[in-house]
Structure 1
Amino acid sequence: MRRLLPALSALLLLGGCWTGLPWFAASESVTVIPDGSYRLAEPGAPPEGADVLHISRQKDRSLLIGGVDAPLRAIIVPLGGAAANANRYIVQLQKLDPRRPPKAMFLMLDNEQGRYRIAVLRCGSVAAAAAGRSGGSVARDPQSASTCIFGDRGTLVTTLRAAAEAEPALDLELVRVDGSDAERAIRR
């Protein structure tokens, strides 16, 4: 995880992200990613050396993602809309920290051809305007890119569907690790 967090943080700083309240319930979650160990790498890059995440389905249907400094909870729901979105999902990602108010980051997952590719959504002008119309806001930081903070679930979903039609960059890929690779990564 030593390399993943700085890489993911840099990606988020440069590209911004989409956030809001955790609107999706675990009961809405669908099974897309099987339990197991995965390397998080750039699509097409060799996964060797990338950080290993451990993903496990919980009783409430959410996913627990371990291997990070603080465990994360993921709820994956179908994106819906156009037929072209059949292999696309909304990922609601939350830090498991009861001391903080609930908030979530939203990503798009594409599992076409059995691959698990993730788009970190940029807070460009269209998304920023939608966030503002939803009663949300845009957090601007001169040191990084803007963050779109959505005020309601409906606007988030509509904007995500529009982003999917525009074919967003798939920034990261989860690559399944076989048992021996996972054991070596755990021992590190």
Structure 2
Amino acid sequence: MRALLLCGLLLLAGCWTGGPFYQPADAVPAIPAGGYDFTFTEGPNAPRQNGVVQVAIRPDGLTTITEQSPEPGVATVMVLGFAPLPDSRDRFVAWIVRALHYDRSGGRNAYAVLVREANGTFRLSVPACVPGPTTEIAQAAGATPFRRQEDDLFDCRFPDHASLLAALRRFDADPPDIVEMLTFRPRD
């Protein structure tokens, strides 16, 4: 299975969600357009999945990440927005608008943290709503876990922008070992 496809499926398997706290007008081009090698992991002992993606900035400010399939004309696409995480230079709130063919817009945006590292690498850490530290962080900030009827998985829903930011700051300050992570390295 292609790495971005696997990541997209896992991103949908219980996330931190909330209302449309950000709009395309809030988006900044946090990851420059171009080609990237990427690695996807679900935790420190999980197998790594690797791939190559193309990053493009859309006219509306959102970012498209596309992984080409070995099959001609087939691609896996994610659409995200990035906004600076307040009081942080190289960290961004990431909101996932589309993963695979699933629309995550409106009240179903999924949220994550993007970190720009000194060597030009970008790390997207996606907190999941599963029993353990990430759900505890979300609940301490005011999120409510709820079971999605369509697939019987849990999302941690944040009631407002402030509670989301509080949880993302805490998550970023001390990320749990078990977290879904995408690392993007510019291609030479």
Aligned equivalent of 2:125, options 115, 119, 123: 119
Aligned equivalent of 1:162, options 170, 175, 184: 170
Residue 109 of structure 1: CA displacement?
Answer: 0.6
> Equivalent residues in 2 for 1:61-140 (5 A)?
61-67=61-67, 71-81=77-87, 85-95=88-98, 102=106, 103-113=108-118, 114-123=120-129, 124-129=135-140, 130-132=142-144, 137-139=145-147
Partner of residue 149, structure 1: 157
Contact (CA 8 Å) 1:18, 1:106: kept in 2 or not? Answer: yes
**In 2: Cα distance, 1:3 partner to 1:104 partner:** 21
Deviations 1:72-121 (A, max 9, x none): 3211011113xxx3211111111186988633111111112122011111
Aligned equivalent of 1:35, options 33, 36, 47: 33
Structure 1 runs (4+) deviating above 6 angstroms are 96-101
Paired residues, number: 165
- Output the TM-score relative to the length of structure 2: 0.70
Tell me the SS of whatever aligns to 2:54: strand
**In 1: Cα distance, 2:37 partner to 2:175 partner:** 24
Aligned-residue Cα RMSD (Å) equals 3.4
Indicate whether 1:172 and 2:182 are aligned. Answer: yes
Deviations 1:6-33 (A, max 9, x none): 35535764xx421123321222122221
The gaps in structure 1 that reach 5 residues or longer are: 179-188
The structure with more radius of gyration: 1
Residue 53 of structure 1: CA displacement?
Answer: 2.0
**In 1: Cα distance, 2:153 partner to 2:138 partner:** 13
**In 1: Cα distance, 2:103 partner to 2:17 partner:** 18
**In 1: Cα distance, 2:50 partner to 2:104 partner:** 29
> Using a 3 Å threshold, how does the CA distance of structure 1 residues 9 and 116 change in structure 2: closer, same or farther?
same
**In 2: Cα distance, 1:56 partner to 1:19 partner:** 24
Amino acid of the structure 2 residue aligned with 1:128: Q
Larger relative strand fraction:
2
Contact (CA 8 Å) 2:20, 2:105: kept in 1 or not? Answer: no
The gaps in structure 2 that reach 5 residues or longer are: 69-74, 130-134
Amino acid of the structure 2 residue aligned with 1:126: I
Larger relative helix fraction:
1
Deviations 1:123-173 (A, max 9, x none): 3223135213xxxx43379x9974212222221112111222224557220
Tell me the SS of whatever aligns to 2:143: helix
**In 2: Cα distance, 1:92 partner to 1:11 partner:** 11
